[in-house]
Structure 1
Amino acid sequence: SVLTNYVLFADKHMFADKHMFADNLFADKHMFADKHMFADKHMFADNMLLVRFLKSREWNVNDTEKMLKESIEYRRRIRPSYLDCKWCHDRPGCHSMRQVGFDEAGRPVIYSNFAQANLRHNTSEDTICHCTYLIENAKRTMPPGVSTWVFVIDCTGMTIQACNPKLGYGVTQVMANHYPERLGLVICVNHNPVFQGIWKAMKVFIHPNTSSKVKLVKSKSKVKQTFLEVFPSELTDWILEEMRQNKIKPLPSTQREFWNKPSDSGRHDPRGCSSYIEKYIERSEKENAAFEILHKAHPNIMDSIKGKVVSVKKSSELEKKSSPFHHVDSCNSDSDEEFEQIEMLDIPDEFKVPDDAVKFT
């Protein structure tokens, strides 16, 4: 098979960079796609897709072929390229996660803040759908040579219903099985011991190669330093200002309705940094439907462009008083102390990772 020839040839000649010979050895890659009636056959025009699948299965041909078949069936059944987040359309601001710019390497940067989300009890279904929508559209903004993305998770306003091991496990399983070797980096900020306990409970179910890409930045003094190591100054400044405004209580309407363009051109724009807005959102406003095929921003940003969404109605769910365990305030510590001493949380059964999940450590 294509995969067998590829691995055997590379091993025979002891090439460390096996992917260097993808162009020749994957000449019949389209036959594999046609054989399995792959809906998104154009994806196989990129040899590096097969390389990522092989790497994720440690170059085991049989495991990789099984994974490819399952991913093909997933794409045929789910059609992720055409997914839209109905939850955001039905309830503006249901999810706050959105692409906001690019890092120094040209990787898409996706930002999320719990305080901005207009939903406090997420399910695996809505979370996976929204994340899939984002990454499928993020792929369309990637320049040649870029294959991974970066997430910034701002834990301000976090609730156990919106962030728990079960949700995290569901999302990571989809990413690992159908988007292997795509995660570049996750930076978590404004978190406290409860989040750290959730991460510790979930980490054992995630492959070490993936968990090593998650960076918890606890110290306020190190947040800017960490951002500047990865992001251009424009995006660093935008994220820092976005984080600052999302800590204001009550949350300003401009931040709660983060999909709307500010009325004052000089104000902070919660839709993203200037270069991303100019290249994708403003272009989307000018070219409308024709440009949507290439890239769609957050569903409510697209709705706002079309004049279909205006404001958020505060639901009774948001107004209910939560128990101390349900709501988590962000950490304001300047300590650089590591989190190894964090004890496991007593997490309710409804938020736990499924019993049949396989542990890596």
Structure 2
Amino acid sequence: MERGSDQVQRLEKELASLLDQTVGSDHVEITRDPTSLYRYLRARDWDVKAALDMIQDSILWRQRERPDQWTCKWCREKTGYHAMRQVGHDALGRAVFYSSFIQMTLTASSACAEDSVAHVVYLLEQAIRSMATIPNGSDSCVWVMDCTGMFLAACSPRVAYRVNQILSHHYPERLARILCVNSGYMMRGAFAAIKHFLAPRTAAKMRFMPVPITRESLLDEHMGDEMTEWLMEEIRLNAQRTIGDSQLRFWERPAATESVHDPRGSDGYVKQFIATYRGSLKGGDPKGVHHPHPNIIEAVTACK
């Protein structure tokens, strides 16, 4: 069913009425937000009672866990532990995440489900904030997964299962697409194993992009010109036989003599959310400020 249709609006109104009776004025970011009502209804195949139960579970989880206050302690303890980060927004206003196995300092021996869940939740909470501040912002995200340098422990079905549980239960329909770049037999094999516990709608969000990646294929996924150009260059640089320091230290602003490409994100994202980050925190940590990758924050706030 299409968002905004008479039938959907009727179901949203019915769900909102039930929430007023059971939840009241708590957690208005879910209970009074039509886009949230739509996402929960869609995730439960338009069953109002099931969507109500799901929202109530999410509210209890948010009260208990306070995910809006999470950070990634693993990245803070070991710089670059996770390379997955928000790098901008696409032509539809969706937040774009990029991850690289080459850039992360996570190793086979240190990989676990707990760190992955914490990092993804942090990124989602911050992406929601960023989308609320841009013109025509969306309510969903796209993950560009660069599989260059992939190793077995990093594509564990157990980790994928835990992350999927959190996303499907508490962030339904937030992840619009996963674009898998430079995928080989390892990633395709891992997806074949993971696919068995994914809902068909979730599994259908995976896209295996052409190898090598093309500009046209990214534009077809609504990346837009700026995001496409950034992704093409980032993917190219991370596929080199010798990776430059500015790429490996993706959380730092590259020196002018090294590169004109900024691995922290697209030009628009850097200007709006990274270059202005210190100023946005004056007077404390205002509610609603978008926080970039934890190590980007450390690098920016350490600058004189």
2:92/2:137 contact within 8 Å kept: no
CA contact (8 A) 2:18 2:52 kept: no
Q: 2:247 aligns with which of 245, 255, 259?
A: 255
2-structure distance, mates of 1:135, 1:66: 22
User: Is the counterpart of residue 85 in structure 1 residue 72 in structure 2?
Assistant: yes
Q: Distance in 1 between matches of 2:286 and 2:293?
A: 12
Question: Is 1:307 the equivalent of 2:302?
Answer: yes
Does the alignment pair 1:164 with 2:156?
A: yes
Give CA deviations for 1:107-161 in whole Å, capped at 9, x if unaligned.
1100000110011232110001000000100001114562211110001111111
Matched, 1:150 2:145: no
Q: 1:24 to 1:200 in 2, by over 3 A?
A: closer
Corresponding residue of 2:128: 139
1:19 is aligned to 8
Give the match for residue 166 of structure 2.
Answer: 174
Which residue of 22, 26, 33 maps to 2:23?
33
What is the CA-CA distance between 1:218 and the residue it aligns to? Answer: 3.5
How many residue pairs match? The answer is: 291
Q: Which whole-Å CA distance do the structure 1 matches of 2:96 and 2:20 have between them?
A: 31
Q: How does 1:35-74 map to 2 (within 5 A)?
A: 40-74=27-61
Report the Cα offset of residue 27 of structure 1.
5.3
Does structure 1 residue 227 correspond to structure 2 residue 214? no
Residue 128 of structure 1 corresponds to which residue in structure 2? 117
Counterpart residue type for residue 51 of structure 2? T
The alignment's TM-score, normalised by the length of structure 1, stands at 0.75
Structure 2 equivalent of residue 313 of structure 1:
none
1:273 partnered with 2:266: yes
| 3-state SS of paired residue (1:204) | helix
Computed over aligned residues only, the root mean square deviation of the Cα atoms, in angstroms, reads 2.4
Q: 2:218 is aligned with what amino acid?
A: F
Structure 1 residues 61 and 282: alpha-carbon distance in aligned structure 2, compared to 1, 3 A threshold? same
Rg (Cα) greater in structure:
1
Contact 2:210 2:217 in 1 (8 A): no
Q: Which runs of 5+ in 2 are unaligned?
A: none
Give CA deviations for 1:27-84 in whole Å, capped at 9, x if unaligned: 574553348xx5x443322022122112211122332232222212211121111110
Percent identity between the aligned chains?
34
Where do 1:277-356 residues align within 5 Å?
Answer: 277-289=270-282, 290=284, 293=287, 294-307=289-302
CA contact (8 A) 2:19 2:31 kept: yes
Q: Distance in 1 between matches of 2:233 and 2:21?
A: 50
Alpha-carbon separation, structure 2, partners of 1:263 and 1:181: 39
Alpha-carbon contact 2:178-2:206 (below 8 Å) kept? yes
Distance in 1 between residues matched to 2:218 and 2:149, nearest whole Å: 21
Cα distance in 2 between the residues matched to 1:92 and 1:292: 25
Deviations 1:244-269 (A, max 9, x none): 11122443221111010112176211
- Counterparts in 2 of 1:52 and 1:271: CA distance versus 1, 3 Å: same
Long gaps (5+) in structure 1: 1-9, 309-361
Please, what TM-score do these two structures have when normalized by structure 2?
0.88
